[in-house]
Homo-oligomer: A and B are copies of this chain.
Amino acid sequence: MNPLPPGSTIGILGGGQLGRMLAIAAAQLGFDVCIFTDEPDSPASRVAAKTIVGNYLDHAALADFARRVHVVTTEFENVPAETLETLIAAGARVAPTPNALAVAQDRFDEKSYFQSAGIATPPFKAIGSQEDLDAAIAEIGVPAILKTRRLGYDGRGQIRINSLADAKGAYERLGAPGILEGFCPFEREISVIGVRGAGSATSFFEACENEHSGGILSRTTLPAKIDAFTADAAERAVFLTMEAFDYVGVLTIEFFVMSDGALVANEMAPRVHNSGHWTIEGAVTSQFEQHIRAIAGWPFGSSKRIAAIEMLNLIGEDANTWPQLAADPTARLHLYGKRDARAGRKMGHVTKLKSHL
């Protein structure tokens, strides 16, 4: 494809903070942005040239969206397949491709893909009944985690199984088809963010180290405390995955790192990722700009990191500390414009650049 010229319109499915930061990156390159969201007054729509508020299954609204934009991307992976099919039928170019989204939407399909690509995962079994669960626990052992196959995020839709007693009735409590994953006694968690675009070019951000709290990312630091061999292996897994899906855009894989440096893939996100927010100030080019460049068919900017980094998520009431955060002259504060600081809600983040490279 020819690169999209500035002045073209980028369509983004979803109105959350990832869409907001994508919209800002697109504007800086001279693109207009049109957001499609089911949420009136979304964080992303407040920095976009145009917003269409509609249901993700509203064919007429989607067709209107498709007509207004030169390419469609998404800020969340749980886009209904019907939404993407409708957009493509209406003539929209969609990036990334629907099959990458489909695989990432289902934890079992995702881990099956990793396995087929030779990327290590925790032991896992699909669970469609209590009998399946009992059999899987007999094979995998405890502790283990029972998760819904679909629609879980930030620790939701998960049941920890520490003993056979925990397993009793657990499938009914889960309330949906699931996957049992063996517990992985990792030493640390990392993620690698890659981007693939025009002419199959790729670029990678340096692996970052992540800490979670209550299933939600709380802190990302760079450099990660991993050796070059582990870093290379993680980047290679992202490369292979982007190749496997003929992927266009940013793709993230989260890994567990074992005490011997071995990697175990936890999950993939076919989108820009919370663990990449540091790239706004901490890399020459941000993940958001690289994603826009990829879907616009532009060459990539440099993904090089420029400083030692600490990124802290502001969850729920954390955002009420903005006066203290604003008073730290080196803390780069980002607030997403969400009206209501509900518990567990990602309200903003802070990036600190500790020493320049």
- Chain A residues within 8 Å of B, Cβ to Cβ: 3, 5-7, 20, 23-24, 27-33, 45-49, 284-285, 293, 298-302, 306-307, 319, 322-323, 326-327, 329-337, 339, 348, 353, 356-357
Residues of B within 8 A of A334 (CB): 28-30
Interchain CB contact (< 8 A) of A46 among B49, B284, B322, B337: B49
- A-B contacts besides A24-B24, A24-B47, A28-B335, 10 pairs, CB < 8 Å: A3-B323, A24-B27, A24-B28, A28-B333, A32-B337, A33-B46, A47-B48, A285-B329, A300-B329, A301-B332
Return the chain B residue nearest A3 by Cβ: B323
Complex: A249 Cα to B128 Cα, angstroms: 62
Q: Are A337 and B24 in contact (CB under 8 A)?
A: no
Assuming the contacts A24-B47, A47-B27, asked whether A326 and B293 have C-beta atoms less than 8 A apart, the reply is yes
Complex: A335 Cα to B333 Cα, angstroms: 24
Return the chain B residue nearest A6 by Cβ: B335
Return the chain B residue nearest A337 by Cβ: B30
Copies in the complex: 2
Complex: A5 Cα to B284 Cα, angstroms: 31
Interchain CB contact (< 8 A) of A356 among B27, B299, B330, B356: B356
**8 A-B residue pairs with CB within 8 Å:** A7-B339, A29-B335, A285-B329, A301-B331, A301-B332, A306-B306, A307-B356, A356-B357
Query: Whole-angstrom distance from the CB of A315 to the nearest CB of chain B?
Result: 15
Interface centre among A20, A47, A307, A339 (most CB of B within 10 A): A47
Q: Are A326 and B298 in contact (CB under 8 A)?
A: yes
Complex: A299 Cα to B322 Cα, angstroms: 11
Query: Whole-angstrom distance from the CB of A18 to the nearest CB of chain B?
Result: 14
Assuming the contacts A6-B337, A24-B24, A284-B329, asked whether A30 and B322 have C-beta atoms less than 8 A apart, the reply is yes
Residues of B within 8 A of A46 (CB): 27, 32-33, 48-49
Query: Whole-angstrom distance from the CB of A298 to the nearest CB of chain B?
Result: 5
Complex: A144 Cα to B307 Cα, angstroms: 49
Complex: A294 Cα to B98 Cα, angstroms: 45
Interchain CB contact (< 8 A) of A330 among B20, B302, B336: B302
Q: Are A322 and B284 in contact (CB under 8 A)?
A: no
Question: What 9 A-B pairs have minimum CB-CB distances, sorted nearest first?
Answer: A30-B335, A46-B49, A302-B329, A356-B356, A6-B335, A299-B327, A298-B326, A27-B47, A47-B47
